[in-house]
Each structure stands twice: as C-alpha cells, then as structure tokens.
Amino acid sequence: MTPEINLTRDPAHLRHGSNIGQPLTRRDGVLKVKGEARYAADNHPPGMLYAVIATASIARGRVTSLDVAAARRHPGVVDVMTPSHKPQLAEDPDAKTNPFAFRMEVLQSDEVRYANQAIAVVIAETLEAATEGAALLSPRYDVAPARVGLDADESYTPPVVGLGNPAEVHHGDADAGLAAASQRIEAIYETPAQYHNAIEPHAIVAAWNGDRLSIDTPSQGMVLAQMRIGGLFGIPPGNIHIRSPFLGGGFGSKGLVAGPQILGIMAAKLVGRPVKLVLRREQMYGPVGHRPPTRQRLRIGVGSDGALTAIEHHAKVTTSSFDDFYEPAADVSHALYATPAIKTSHEALRVDSGTPLFMRAPGEATGSVALESAIDEAAFACGIDPLAFRLKNYAEVEPATGRPFSSKALRECYAKAAERFGWSRRPLAPRQMRDDAGFLVGWGMGTAIFPALMFQGNARAVIRADGTGAMETGAHDMGQGAWTALAQISADALGLDLEQVAFKSGTSDLPDAGIAGGSAHTATVGNAIHNAGAAVIAKLAGLATSDDRSPLFGAGNAGVIARQGRLHRRDDDVRSESYADILARAGLAEIDASGSGAADPAAQSQYAMHAHGAVFAEVKVDPNLGQVRVTRMVGAFAAGRIINPRLVQSQLYGGMIWGMSFALHEEAVTDRRSGRILNANLAEYHVPVNADVPPMDVITVDEHDPHVNALGIKGVGEIGITGSAGAVANAVWHATGIRVRRFPIRIEELVTGLSD
C-alpha cells in the first residue's frame, strides 16, 4: 500500500503565510515512535522463507568445498543456493552496462574476492534453521595471500575519480608558486577505511509472480534499482514493484542495489516462494560499499604577505581487485582558497576488499580533513590566526575555474560562528589554555564546503473535487525528513494549507524522484514538486478564466494567484473562486499535472555552486592519559533557501557529529595476514554515543541564490562533516602542540608527545 501522510502545520504558518521555512516536526517520527513505521524486514508475506548468507572467512582465493548435504539435512532447511545450484541470470553481474552498474558477487563462481563475500545462501522455514544450516556448510578454501593497505600493490593513475572527474587538475604553475613562497608546508595525512553502519541493515523481502517481482527493500534510488534488477533477471523494469517507505539510514550505501539484495531475489526464484534476507551487522562490512583509506600529501606555499602562492594536493586511494571506484579526495582543494596555482592528482591501487563506493561526502570528507589541517599548519608557520589566514585567502571566485559563485555567504558564516564561539580570545600559540581541573584546552576551526548538486526527478500534482490536493513522487526518506520538507513544498506549490495535502511517496509506481544522494534530494524533488504544482494550478486557472460563469473569467493564466485553496485575480483580490467550485462547474472529480526538476546546464557552466560553512571546536585533553573530549562545537552554514529549519539543524548536527567521529573514533582495522576486518561490529567499530557528543550550536545564515535552482535550495546532508573533522583535529593540536596527521587521532600518539 502506498504510504499517504497528512501533515499538520505549525501555527506560525498563519503569521508567515507560507509552509516553506516553518520548523515543523517530522510526522514520520510519530509513526516510528509508535512502532507503526514499516521497514523492509517488517514484512512477512504468506509462505515466506528465510535466507541466510554464508560468507567467506578469507580475502582471496577459491572455495574448494561446501558440506551442502549437512546443511540440507538440518531440520527446516528447504534449499541451499551455491554457484552450481542457482537461477541463471540474464546479464553478467560483472558487466559495466552503465556508470552505476558496479560489479557484485552473486554466486557466479567459486572465486573469493574479499572477506565477507557471499559463498552460499541457505533458505529455510525459520531464521534459526537458516542460520544453523549456514554454519554447517564448513567451507574449505584454496587461499591466496591477501593484499591489504595502501602499500599492498603497485599503484597507478586512475582514468577518472568519483563519477567521471579527471584524476589530475592543473591551474597555474604550482611548482613555480611553491618555489616563490616564503613559507612552505609539506605534510602527509592518512585517513582509515570507514564503513556505513546504518541502524537498519540491508534487507529484502522478494516475491515472484510469474515474470513480475514484488520487493520490500531500503533504497535511495528505486528506479535505478528497477533497471539493475530488470537487466539481471531479463524482465522489464516496470514488472518490478519496490516498496521503500522508510529507511533506517543509508549514507550512500543504499543508493545502488547490492549483491545481497540480488541474492534474496535469486533465492525467491529458486524456491518459488517469498524470501526474506537480512544482513547481519558484520556482513555489512564488504558487499555494500565503504569509504576507502587515503594517504594525502599537501604542499602549500605562502608569500610574505600571508597570501597563498600554491596548493598541491595528491591523494593515494584504494579500490577493489575487481572494480573501479576512486575516492576523489584531492578535489576539495579546487574550490576553497584563493591561490594563483592549484595542482591536484590521484593514484590508486587494488586491494582485496569490497568495492569502495559513495559514503556520506565521498571525497570531501577525506580531502577536507587533510586540507584544513594543512591550512592550519600554514597559518601557524606564518604567525597568523587561523581565521585571519582563511579570510586573507578568501576566494571571491572558484579558484580552479575562475567561475563566479552562484552565491557565497562564507564570510558571514565565519563571523557569526566565531562570535558565538568566542574565537577572539584564542591565544595563537598552542598549549596555552587549561581548565580548573588541569586539562589542556584547545580551540580549532575548519571550513566546510559541499557542491550544490541536482539530479533528475519528477512529481505528479492533483487537485481534488473537495478542494484538497495530493502530491505524488517516489522520493526516499532515510531519516533526513524528506517526507516533511517535500510536503511543505507541496502545500505551497498547490496553494493549500499543509493539512489539506496528501503526500504520497516511497514506492516505485510513483513518479521517479531520482536518487537520494549528493545532498541533492530536496533540491531535485522539491523543484519537481514546485513545477508540478505550477502546472496543475495553470490547468485550473485555464478552466476558470475561460468560463464566463466564473468571477475569474477573462483574467488569463498570468492574472491569477493561488492561495489557501482559492484562485484570486492579481488585479482585484476580492474576485476569487475556490478550487472546489471550479472543478464542480467543470464536472471534474480531479485535475492533475506533472512536473520535473533538473539542473540547468547553462547556469552550471556559468557559475560555481556550493554550500559553505565554518565550524569551531573546543577540546580538552588529559595531559597524563592523552584522552581527548570534544566539549563544544559551533557551526554556521549557508545553504541557500531553508525549507524546514528544524530538519536542517538536525542534519547539520549529524554532519558535525560524524566529523568529530572521523577525527577521533572511526576506523576499520584489517588483519594484514588474512584480510579480514577485525572490528566488524558496533562494539569495536567506534562511533560517538550520546556521552561523547558535546553541546552543539548550529547557525544557518540566510542566503538567496537565484541561479542554483528555481527554489534556491542547496543541500545540507553532507556539508557538516567537511569542516568538523578538521576543526577537531586543529583543536587537538592547539591543546597539545602535537600535530597528529593520521586519523583517527590516537591516545598513544598524544601520550608520547605529552611526555616528552
């Protein structure tokens, strides 16, 4: 059943006259608290079986034997799917049919490409029977040495990084700029592998009916999933119905359909019954993407006046042994600081891991922590306050291209966050501040940036005979509040109060909303909704202005405005007519129209489009134990038009917390001998918990952007990470005088330095 959520408005709506800009609470939050939100794994169709994946305990080699007979004998086991016993696919899962068709492991051979790869699937009447059956398979292997880490193999220059960006970019003469500098900084920074750990693991409930397929699965891109699944199984994408009303987090890992989901569909086809397959926590470390480790070299030149003369940013990244995704870590240096010369480059090597893919702020998160640390080092070398140094090198145009910014309120972000934080009291030298308990206190800052992206999305608007409306779009809400924000845009687009609009979303039979990624979902779908609303209002106006019985007769489409369920003449506000009366006279039960949202290629070629921000952090460090606690964070962000301040604040908090996590907590540790991830669980893969998160203050800076899109929306989902990790790292240096360039910052590195 398609979810339909009717949202109530905040009383402030009556004062402001618009649903956009109101800090409404998330109505899906009430459903979640009451246990009424239905996630993929909550579905249990009649006759459903359970599937459990058996995974490889080696990182490279071949499976030489599986005790399938033992698993089949186990009570409750229905079948065991292996490379020699499986449904045939219509398309090679290793075929690169489009830029989003990443290779996946779905039992096509006995080869093992990485630890945690699926090597069999056990299907049973109960979850317990399937789990026990998988344990009875007792796999044996022909093991090859695992290639692990940034020095595991010979490196090479990748053909592209990210999604088609050039691996090397040159603007000006970086070598000459470095040679002419009076101060030069050269440093190497390392970041670890990080893994998505959404609370909801990847799951699928799949049921076949002939050549038609019904799926419940968390998805950030249902139409992309339809196309991929349709190709693999040789059926039209329209034969695939995907329900994904709720996602328990995604962070990019649910943007593309992954191997485990395909295995669930294969299992359902094999046994001819509905099948549920849910990954265990440790099984998410491999087949669904991750953030790869990086080693980044920054060379920065500064003139005697404190102005940058050159930035050179080189990143070494890993990809899998069988596919190509290269983290564009150095690209963040293209857009932040004014300099006559920029050189960025990447090199890559193959390791025995799952393919790294999109993870919240891919490239920007890894690249910015290195860049912001290096900028801080350069400021100190010049004897300049870090904020003053950034303002000295403030970019009025995009440095790498010379294009003007579509809008940029970064100066205001610096000023407001610095004032709120109290930055003017910061001593220049490190290790100058202590609290009453004797802990070392440090203050650091970082600049935040993320591109303002848009994809292609569609929506359908309806006005009903009773004067209410509906908006339909296959959008995705993974906790960011899309259902609420998009419903607010819908109400304004239809000229109705919020409770009069039914917002339908979350299934693939609705208009394609595109992918929820790149911090682009609200901009993309919001503009589709805006245009759909404008189109249906135009149809309604056409009915009224061409009907001599209407008080709007002769006004023309351009002469009316929609407000609170009525069309008003622009030149005579008293003359108006309700939607219900217009449709009743026309004898229509409803009227509908479609709209789309997409980036404007002309504007994109003319302007550089980014959201900006500034983050300030305070840390306290135990001088004896080296323990670090973040005690305060203040962030100010300019991200175009804010649809819902409450939701935006939540997203920015989340980004800042993730940045803190990047600096101090997160790291996937790989056994160099076996290639297995040693901490593939939430007990040892450390992320901040409530006790780790300090008081946070978020400021949103007003910003009007007439170029980025019709609604002036920029994304906020990822920008909060990009300044925060560097701010925390720089604060640790300011507290201790120890510059740690390997992340996460470890106690042992601080203790060694503090004891000297």
Per run of 10 residues, the mean pLDDT along the chain (length 756 residues) is: 39 56 91 93 98 98 98 98 98 93 97 98 98 98 97 96 96 98 98 97 98 98 97 98 96 96 98 98 97 98 98 98 98 98 98 97 98 98 98 98 98 98 98 97 98 97 98 95 96 96 97 96 98 97 94 82 94 91 97 97 97 98 97 98 97 97 98 96 95 96 97 97 97 98 96 82
**What pLDDT score does 572 carry?**
84
**What pLDDT score does 558 carry?**
60
Peptide bond into 744 cis (omega under 30): yes
Q: How crowded is the C-beta side of 243, counted as CA atoms within 13 Å? A: 18
**What pLDDT score does 557 carry?**
56
Residue 403's Cα: distance from chain center in Å?
Answer: 26
The per-residue b/e assignment along 236-275, b for 16 or more CB within 10 angstroms, e otherwise, is ebebbbbbbbbbbbbbbbbbbbbbbbbbbbbbbbbbebbb
CA distances from 321 to 53, 114, 227, 348 (A): 22, 9, 25, 11
Same fold, 41-145+201-284 and 385-453+604-755: yes
CATH 3.30.365.10 fits 41-145+201-284, yes or no: yes
The answer to whether 290 and 320 have CB atoms below 8 angstroms apart is: no
Q: What residues does each domain of the chain span?
A: 4-37+456-598, 41-145+201-284, 385-453+604-755
Q: And the tokens for 441?
A: 């206190």
The domain defined by 385-453+604-755 folds into Aldehyde Oxidoreductase; domain 4 (3.30.365)
Catalytic residue among 312, 718, 748, 749, which? 718
Q: And the tokens for 192?
A: 């670890």
Contacts with 34 (C-beta within 8 Å, 6 or more apart), sequence order:
none
The answer to whether 400 and 171 have CB atoms below 8 angstroms apart is: yes
**What pLDDT score does 756 carry?**
67
**What pLDDT score does 754 carry?**
87
**What pLDDT score does 17 carry?**
66
CA dihedral 298, 303, 307, 309 (to 10 degrees): -50
Written out in words, the top-level CATH class of the domain with range 4-37+456-598 is alpha beta
Pairwise CA distance, residues 615 & 634, whole Å: 6
128 is catalytic: no
**What pLDDT score does 574 carry?**
87
Pairwise CA distance, residues 426 & 618, whole Å: 11
Query: pTM for the whole thing?
Result: 0.95
**What pLDDT score does 93 carry?**
97
Pairwise CA distance, residues 331 & 316, whole Å: 12
